[in-house]
Chain A
Amino acid sequence: MMKKCLVTVIALGLCVGSVFGTALAQDKEFKLGVLFSMTGAFAPAGGLAGYQGTMVAVDMINARGGIAGQYKVVPVIADAQSNPDTSIREGQRLMTVENVPVVLGVFSSAIAVPLAPMAEQYKKIFWVIIAISDKVVQDRHLNYTFRVQPTGSQWGQSTVTMFNENLEKFGIKSASEVRVAVIYEDGPYGSSVAAANKEKVKEFGMNLVMEEAYSHKTNDLSSLIFKLKSAKPDVILHTGYFPDVVLFFRQARELGLKTKAIAGHGAGHANMPKLAEAAGGELMNYCFNVDPAPAQLLDRSKLAPGNGDVVGEFLKRYEEKFKDNNPPTHATQGFGHTWILLNDVLPLALEKYGDLSPDSIRKAALDIEIPDGGTPCGYGVKFAPPEHALSGQNLRSYPVVAQSVGGKLSIAWPGALQTAQPVIPLPADSPYGIK
C-alpha cells in the first residue's frame, strides 16, 4: 500500500518536474515574465486587457528586431487566476524556476502587495503595470519593484482637486458647502483611493457627509444607496470594480438617487464603452473618471517625436489582434508601461551596464529620466530612489480626469491637457440629475 503510494508520489513529482525542466536559456533571447489575472474575478475588470496590451508591446518590439535590436523578447506567461495564493506561487515559479529577470504585470493591488517583497527576496525586477495602491511601494523601500503609473492617492486627489477648481459650477462659493460622499470597494485599491479622497476633502475644507466601503463581490448595494439618499451629497466619489459599479448605477437610478456629480476612479469606471454596453449609455452620461489618458485620447502632437506613431501602431495592432478599436485604459496601460520597459529601460541597461541582469536593469531604471510627453503614455518617467518613501514609484506620472458626454470622452482636468470644460452639475437628462 505504502509502496504504491510512494510510486504515485514520485511519478507525480517527476511529472511536475518535467514541466519545469524545459526552461533552457538560449542566446539572444530575453525572457519576460508576464503575470496577469487572465481568469477569475479580476480578469474582466482589466486583468485580461492589461495582458493584451502588454502582448502588443512585445510584438512591436520584436517586429523592430528585439531589445536594442539584439534580444528577442520571449514572454513567459502565467495566469494569476485572480487568487493571491496562486499568484504567489506563479510569481515564485517565474522568478526561480523560469528564472526570468523581470516579472511584469498583475492587475490587482492585493496581488502586487505580497509579490513585491518576493521580488526583493529573489532579487528580480517586479515591474508593476496596473495595480495602483500606494501600499505596493509606500514605506517599503523596495529595491527591485518599479511602477510607472500614478499611485492610488494621485487618483483620489485629482477628482477632489478638479471639483475644488470648479466650485462655481455647483453654484456655491466656499468649499465647505460642498457635500461629499466617498464610497469604495474595501480592497487596497479602493481604500488607497478613498484615503486620498478624504485627505483632499479635508484639506480643501469640504464637507464629508458619508463614507462607506463594501466588498466588490456584493450582489446588493441598495442599503448603501439608501444611506446616500439621506446624506444628500453633491458629489459622489466612487471607487469600484466593474459589476459593483454597474450594480450601483442601476440600483441608484431605480431608487431615485439624485446628486450633482459622480466621479469614478479607474478600474470599473475605466471602461466607459463596456459600462454603457452592459448597463445602458444614459447611466454613464456625464460621469467622471480618473485614469492615465487612454491612447486614443492623447493629443499625439504634444508627444515627443516618434511616440505618436507608436500610439498609432498600438491602436492599429490592438484592433487587428483583439477586434476592438476602442481599447480600454487597462490595455493602454499594459502597452505603455511594457513599452517603457522594453524600449527605454532595457536598452539603457544593455548599453550602460552591459547585460540584462536584474541588477543592471535596476540601475538603468534608476538612471532613466524622461520628460513629460516622452512616452506613449503622455507622462514622463523618473523613479523614486530607494531612500524615498515611495521608492520605485514613477514620480512623473499623473492621471487625468475624463468626462463621458454622450458616449464621447473628453479630458476635463488638469487644465493643461483639458479638451473640454467639465459639465457640472448633472444636467436634467441624466437619471441622477436634480430636475
Chain B
Amino acid sequence: MQAINKYGFYGQIILLVVLVMLPFIITSSYLNHIMTLILLWSFVATAWAYMARFGMVSLGHGIFLGIGAYFPTMMFNYWSFTPWIGIWVGVAIAVATAAVLGYACFRFGLLGDYFALVTLAVAEVSALTIMAFRETTGGSLGYTLRATGKISDMQFSDKRVYYFIALILLIGAVYIWRRIDRSPIRLALTAIEESEIAAASLGVSVIRYKMMITLLSAGLTALGGALYAQYVTYVSPDTIAGVGVSLSVCFKAILGGMFTVLGPFVGSTIIVALEEYVRISMGASFLGLSQIIFGISLLIMIIFLPKGIMGSMSLAISRKLNRID
C-alpha cells in the first residue's frame, strides 16, 4: 500500500504540473475550451460524488446547476448585479433549496431508490420551472448572458482564465474530499450508509451529517453551474438543468469511479473526449452513427467496469500486490 501511495503522490504532482502547463502548450482555443469544460464538469462530478460515495445517489443535481447558472446570469442581465457577488447569491439559493429538499428527504427517511426517484423528479421540476417562467428565463431555448467584456462583470478577454478558475475549483474539491476522508465526517457517513440505526445508536446524528454533505455538494455544484454560465455565456434548461444533465453528471462520476477522488475527473475527461472524438471523426459522414458508438461505449463501460475506471484499476493493482505478498 505504501508503494501505491508514494507513486500516487508523485503521479498527482505530475498531473498537476501537466494541467497547469497545458493551456500554454496547447494554444488552440477549441482544445482549451474542451479542457476547460472537462475541468468544470470534473469539479461538478466530484461535488456530486461527495454524496454518492456515501450512498446518497442524487439524480437531481441539475436543479443546483440550474440555480447556480440562472440566478447570477439573470441578476446580471436584469439588474447589472455583478456576477462576482451574484454567483454567491446563486450558491446560497442552491444551498437553501438543498436544505429544504434534503431535510424533507432525510426526515422522512427516504433511502436508496426512493431518494433517487425523488431527486429525479426534482431535476425535471427544475427544467419545467425554467420553461414555466419563460418570460423571465427565456424558456426552453435558453438565455444569453449580456456581454460587456469587463473584468468587473467577470468577463475576461482571455478565456484561459476560466481554465484556471476551473482548475483551482477542482483542486479545491479534491482537497475537501481529502479533508473529509481524514475527518470524522467520513466515519459518520460511512456508518450511516451501511446502517442508520447502528450509526445513530453510537451517537451519530444521522440527519445532521447527511445534511452537511448534501449542502456542501449542492453548494459546490451550484458554483460549477454558475461558472459554466459565466464561461459559456449561454444557458438553457437542456444544457444546465433537468434530467439529462443530472444523469450526465452521474455518468461522468461513475465511469471514472465515484469512490476514488480522481474518478470523477478521469470520467469527465474520458466522456467529454470520447464524445468529441467520435463526433468529429465520423460526425457528418454517417449521421447518428457517432452517437450510437458513444452510447454503446458508455453501455460497455458500465457493464464491464461497474466500479468505474479508477475503481477497477485500483482494485486490479491491489489484487496484484496482494498476490505478491
Contact = CB atoms under 8 A, between A and B. Distances in A.
Contacts of B14: 2, 6
A187 interface: yes
A1 B4 contact: yes
Nearest to B142: A110
A79 interface: yes
Contact of B141 (A3, A90, A188): A188
A226 interface: no
Given A1-B4, A5-B313, A186-B141, A78 B283 contact: yes
B269 A113 contact: no
A89 interface: yes
Contacts of B281: 19
B134 interface: yes
15 contacts: A2-B11, A5-B310, A15-B273, A17-B31, A20-B28, A20-B280, A39-B288, A43-B287, A85-B239, A89-B34, A92-B30, A93-B280, A96-B29, A97-B30, A97-B31
Interface string A104-144: 00001110011001000010000000000000000000000
A89 B33 contact: yes
Residue in B141, B232, B288, B291 with the greatest tally of chain A CB atoms within 10 Å: B141
Interface string B1-22: 0001001101110110010000
Interface string A32-68: 0000001100010000100000000000000000000
A117 B232 CA distance: 11
Contacts of A421: none
B140 A1 contact: no
Contact of A2 (B12, B37, B280, B309): B12
Contact of A89 (B7, B30, B141, B310): B30
A114 B30 contact: no
Nearest to A91: B30
A48 B284 CA distance: 11
B317 interface: yes
A176 interface: no
Contacts of B232: 85, 88, 114
Given A6-B18, A16-B276, A84-B238, A187 B313 contact: no
B147 A213 contact: no
B144 interface: yes
A114 B140 contact: no
B65 to A, nearest CB: 12
Interface string B222-243: 0000000000111010110000
B284 to A, nearest CB: 4
B271 to A, nearest CB: 11
B234 A39 contact: no
Nearest to B256: A5
Nearest to A48: B287
Nearest to B273: A12
Contacts of A12: 269-270, 273-274, 277
A19 B18 CA distance: 21
Chain A contact patch, size range: 35 or more
Contacts of B313: 1, 4-5
Contact of B234 (A15, A77, A79, A84): A84
B314 interface: yes
Contacts, number: 146
A1 B314 contact: yes
B139 interface: yes
Contacts of B10: 2
Given A1-B7, A38-B287, A89-B33, A113 B12 contact: no
B141 A114 contact: no
A406 interface: no
A358 to B, nearest CB: 16
B287 A79 contact: yes
Given A1-B310, A215-B131, A16 B140 contact: no
Interface in B197-245: 232-234, 236, 238-239
B266 interface: yes
A147 B10 CA distance: 54
Given A13-B273, A15-B273, A20-B31, A78 B236 contact: no
Contacts of A92: 29-30, 33
A19 B4 CA distance: 35
A213 B28 contact: no
Interface in A175-222: 185-189, 191, 213, 215-217
Interface in B293-325: 309-310, 313-314, 317
B239 A84 contact: yes
A83 interface: yes
Given A1-B8, A117-B233, A39 B291 contact: yes
B308 to A, nearest CB: 12
B262 interface: yes
A174 interface: no
B207 to A, nearest CB: 35
A70 interface: no
Nearest to B284: A77
A207 B123 CA distance: 40
B140 A186 contact: yes
A325 interface: no
B186 interface: no
Contact of A93 (B30, B239, B290): B30
